[in-house]
Chain A
């Protein structure tokens, strides 16, 4: 019996075993084997969003660029040296790149060299077939059409390890916004990449689309961004700031739109594109004296100087400490405490009312006002906190919440700061008297200065300053008004004083025919540590202004490091910017030339020459 049916039984047993095995191979849900080998996944990138200025001028577009790709598995022996020469690479670097590609994956493509120019690509295409396993792939990089506003626009770069770790969207070799608008609006600008699937054969060659391209995922389009920046004004402001350190911020007060944001010295976005980008970046990063990557308009914290007097005037009026007729007598300064004298540039015996105090920038007037504000309350703590509360309502001492990812808070001292320093209420208005004239502990950034000037121009509110007007067609402008703690009626007298500053006060140079400009100069004492010795440097020149005073269209804040008087650099620059913006044409060519050609480079070199130097010349 066994002999007769041996074959039949064996056939049945073998069939059952086979079917069980096939069931475990084909029907088990956990796919132990995957078919990654057979399908090549390629990312399809939507074109990165374009960037326009407020008037529709194209600022940033895209240009084709090429990458040299290796698939290690497909290479055969080749001459490393000749490939290195062909691609202008260092042979060691080339070897290192190839080794790291091999370590990454033998089957997957890796980038050996990216951002190869169109011209270089044309040259390489003819030779690359000599090197099996290498090919050139087209992609696109940014094309910065106007070489201005780089500090606002920022730049893109290849994703680093952190980017990939933080966001699984990104893969090795992809581009990401690294700074500025490119960074802040990365999600809008990048769009969403799609996927294309190809069928490969066992030699890793693509033999056609997979599944008739039905599995492919279409990329979704990137969004275009319209900035609030006026590129012509930006260009003009940048030209005015050449060879000077500092910042300019111009804002349209009714909307909070930033018209111009200059930081000088700065970089150019196109330095981050192309073959020399790494070298350029290192150069910029290592320039510890000029700090071109440091945005002085957003990140530099200075003492505000005399423009602070305007705020103290407003607080004084609001608190009822002074009114428009209040007068103080200045004796080229005054004793604010025993043996403590605060000097003033006003001559002995000057009697000032509020307007005159403002346009002559009288230290005495505002020191007295400040003391009134603080001493109104029982304890200096209460007085100071009330004062700080007013100040902060102008957006000082905190991030403004604008749409760039860099910035500084600045500093507005409050009672606990002094309490910690001197002991509980063992200090007073005279101890903190520097606050009255914008020296001492207060720190502000140029954009904060522009912002509080905006609040004054608007007679009591500001709109959060911002850089983007529209994303595609969606307007970004409906923003809330932030009201200050100062009543509207208190602004007029102060603004009158600011108009006087330009008409007959410290900033007569800023006068523009036919436009009433309101402004306030500042001359800011500053110090540096040289070999552990505190040394005073030439004062910073600063100016805030808006115009026309009765219905402001533009607010400008200018800060020029070590420029001495506010009227020497900052006021003319602000005035030229206002003229350019409101009249489109600058008549005062002599002033323009003086500003464009004027250089403070020698001034900046003084502390680094290691010899004695004089300041405020």
Chain B
């Protein structure tokens, strides 16, 4: 009994609930009248169940593995994942416009999922080295490289959605000592980009200048000395970002990305064309009401109105068939899992494990934020799965492995090995 109690049961139960709910919703969203058996490997649920079983077996193995093992293999698997990502360009199979799959017989595998795990381990490994100092430019560049090499490789597939997920690692890096100014700087630049896209260069420059003026006046009253040259340069820098926004937007991004961003900013309404996914998803979700239409009863789900509803848009099925009760519970479960892992991470005395746990929690958060956010029309459409729920073997397996590594680390908090 004591053996079980040493594991984080709250997380384990939450994990079990989310994974079960995922299977139920895949069953519903891929349901057809000619359905045979859920254990039929040819069906989507059959495949997903198989992967869940594989995940649990891997989990069992992981739990009884010594924690030190993961520390030891961190560098190795990271480079292995990079090799896998690179060889995709030669041996990969193209699906949905991106060369991001290996296919071996009945098994298909997405190395970008694997890379998340490996990057988390390797990042933890590097940051936990005693000499690493995030105030040193050299180390900052190295940390940046750890993250951006897989990002670039994945973007080239091209699968920018999956690449975006790697930005999650900003949280453990900040936690481990990166100056918060990097974070603020990122937020300011993002705000300027959005501001410029919503209005235009002229208006956003005026807004920026007025904000600067207010700050200057405020500081004068407080009699705080101000370096005029420095602040003029920063203003000029920000204005030039605003100025270059349109160029970046029009030339770097593809039309479909522009469309998605414009939709979220409310600059375009096209429920039948580019906005079809989001609109159908919102229709399905609002159709659910408080209690939902019931399992297998969602009209939008049955009618396959929401494209990719068993993968990226599975939240719409939850919304329609389980209603607000279902969506509320899902969000609650995810926030419990994320905050639980993040807070337990803080109790880890061993840096490697703490950083890994926080990375895992951050990855979960980014998936949770982007996937549900796009399903309800708050975030531009980005094709990434909802962990443990969306259909996809690689995703389920990798997230499960990451989860069981967390369980392992958490249970052996006070042990060195």
Interface residues of A (CB under 8 A from B): 2-4, 6-8, 10-12, 14-15, 17-19, 21-23, 25-27, 31-35, 37-39, 199-202, 207-208, 210-211
Contact = CB atoms under 8 A, between A and B. Distances in A.
27 contacts: A3-B174, A3-B175, A3-B180, A7-B362, A8-B342, A10-B365, A11-B368, A14-B373, A15-B332, A18-B372, A18-B373, A22-B327, A22-B328, A22-B331, A22-B376, A26-B286, A26-B327, A32-B286, A33-B286, A34-B283, A35-B300, A37-B305, A38-B299, A38-B300, A38-B305, A201-B304, A202-B307
B365 A202 contact: no
B300 A25 contact: no
Contacts of A202: 280, 303-305, 307
B171 interface: yes
Nearest to A199: B302
Contacts of B365: 7, 10-11, 14
Given A12-B335, A37-B283, A201 B376 contact: no
B190 to A, nearest CB: 14
A103 B302 CA distance: 28
A207 B301 CA distance: 12
Interface in B66-120: none
Contacts of B327: 18-19, 22, 26
Interface in B166-192: 171, 174-175, 180
A7 B378 CA distance: 19
B331 A35 contact: no
A37 B302 CA distance: 12
Nearest to B358: A7
A18 B376 contact: yes
Given A8-B342, A26-B323, A26-B327, A37 B282 contact: no
Nearest to B173: A3
A6 B300 CA distance: 37
B347 to A, nearest CB: 11
B417 interface: no
A25 B285 contact: yes
Given A199-B302, A202-B303, A2 B180 contact: yes
Q: Which of A15, A19, A26, A34 has the most CB of B within 10 A?
A: A26
Given A38-B303, A211-B297, 10 more contacts: A8-B343, A11-B365, A12-B335, A18-B376, A22-B328, A26-B290, A34-B283, A35-B300, A37-B283, A38-B300
Contacts of A6: 171, 174-175
A19 B299 contact: no
Nearest to B332: A15
Nearest to A32: B286
Contacts of A18: 327, 331, 372-373, 376, 378
Nearest to A25: B286
Interface string B369-380: 100110011100
- Size class of the B contact interface (CB-based, 8 Å): 35 or more
Chain A: interface secondary structure? helix
Contacts of A23: 324
Contacts of B372: 18
A4 B373 CA distance: 24
Nearest to B373: A18
Taking each of A14, A34, A38, which has the highest tally of chain B beta carbons within 10 Å of its own beta carbon?
A: A38
B171 A25 contact: no
B33 interface: yes
B268 interface: no
Nearest to A212: B297
B361 interface: yes
Contact of B339 (A8, A22, A34): A8
Chain A CB count within 10 A is highest, among B180, B280, B283, B334, for B283
B262 interface: no
A368 B351 CA distance: 132
A4 to B, nearest CB: 6
B63 interface: no
Interface centre among A7, A8, A12, A200 (most CB of B within 10 A): A7
Interface centre among A11, A27, A32, A207 (most CB of B within 10 A): A11
Contacts of B302: 38, 199, 201, 207
Contact of B299 (A3, A21, A25, A39): A39
B319 A26 contact: yes
A52 to B, nearest CB: 45
Contacts of B285: 22, 25-26
Contact of B282 (A25, A199, A207): A25
B331 A19 contact: yes
Contacts of A39: 299
B385 interface: no
Interface string B347-375: 00000000000100110010011001100
A11 B338 contact: yes
Nearest to B271: A33
B300 A27 contact: no
Nearest to B328: A19
B102 to A, nearest CB: 31
B288 interface: yes
B40 interface: no
A200 B297 CA distance: 13
B383 interface: no
8 smallest beta-carbon distances between A and B, as pairs: A38-B299, A33-B283, A15-B335, A26-B324, A201-B303, A38-B303, A25-B286, A202-B305
Contacts of B376: 18, 21-22, 25
A22 B327 CA distance: 8
A589 B368 CA distance: 98
A202 B284 CA distance: 12
Nearest to B174: A3
A15 to B, nearest CB: 4
Contacts of B304: 201-202
Nearest to B376: A21
Contacts of A15: 331-332, 334-335
Contact of B319 (A4, A22, A200): A22
B346 interface: yes
Given A14-B369, A18-B373, A31 B303 contact: no
B290 A27 contact: yes
B161 interface: no
B287 interface: yes
B160 interface: no
Interface centre among B286, B334, B372 (most CB of A within 10 A): B286
A33 to B, nearest CB: 4
Contact of A37 (B303, B328, B373): B303
B289 interface: yes
B287 A33 contact: yes
Contact of B335 (A11, A26, A208): A11
Nearest to B361: A7
A7 B338 contact: yes
Contacts of A3: 174-175, 180
A32 B377 CA distance: 15
Contacts of B283: 33-35, 37
Given A35-B287, A202-B304, A208 B323 contact: no
A24 to B, nearest CB: 9
A199 B288 contact: no
Contacts of A21: 376-378
A36 to B, nearest CB: 9
B289 A27 contact: yes
Nearest to A26: B324
A10 B368 CA distance: 12
Nearest to B288: A26
Nearest to B339: A8
B324 A7 contact: no
B258 to A, nearest CB: 24
B351 to A, nearest CB: 14
A199 B299 contact: yes
A211 B296 CA distance: 10
B331 A7 contact: no
Nearest to A2: B180
B207 to A, nearest CB: 24
A4 B354 CA distance: 11
Interface in B258-274: none
